[in-house]
Amino acid sequence: MSNTQEQISRNMRSNKCKDTKPELILRKELWRRGLRYRKNYKLLEGKPDIVFLRAQIAVFVDGKMWHGYDWEHRKKDFKSHQEFWIPKIERNMERDFAVTQNLVEQGWLVLRFWDFEIKKDLKVCADKIEKAYRNRIKYFGRENINVT
């Protein structure tokens, strides 16, 4: 059964840009581990989904459709409005790259996870974040963290 243009538009509008299910389960797991963070931090470029200010870690949870997972194969999946969707997703990918580069140049550690990675293995993703957090806090020490 094919979707009408109206159904497709309704589905696309219903996609959320923050507080997605993968973000919520990841945040809940990090909180359970005693890690405190800011969410959707507007003062940093790209508004990371999770930010650890003292450790200067920015975490992004990227949806595979919006951020171009396996793009060379997946872009063929767009059957309608390719002239709109393909450039849009490619701009998102370029922006993600530029945001990551800029934050790294400012001394931030940027961690990016695909939404399906979190759903598939939450523990592994949370372990990576926790390990990075503990290492950066130990390395920087509390007094040397540059808080923005």
With a pLDDT cut of 90, the percent of the chain lying above it is: 61
Of residues 54, 44, 36, the one with CA closest to residue 144: 54
pLDDT band at 70 (very low <50, low <70, confident <90, very high): confident
- Say which CATH architecture domain 17-140 belongs to: 3-Layer(aba) Sandwich (3.40)
Q: What is the pLDDT of residue 76?
A: 75
Q: What is the pLDDT of residue 73?
A: 74
Report d(CA 85, CA 91) in Å as an integer.
Answer: 10
What are the sequence ranges of the domains in the chain? Answer: 17-140
- Reported as a single tens digit per residue, the pLDDT across 77-93 is 777 777 888 888 899 99
DSSP letter for each residue of 20-66: -HHHHHHHHHHHHTT---EES-TTSTT--SEEETTTTEEEEEE-TTT
Q: What is the pLDDT of residue 138?
A: 85
Report d(CA 80, CA 113) in Å as an integer.
Answer: 28
Q: What is the pLDDT of residue 66?
A: 83
- pTM surpassing 0.75? yes
- Reported as a single tens digit per residue, the pLDDT across 18-47 is 789 999 999 999 999 999 999 999 999 999
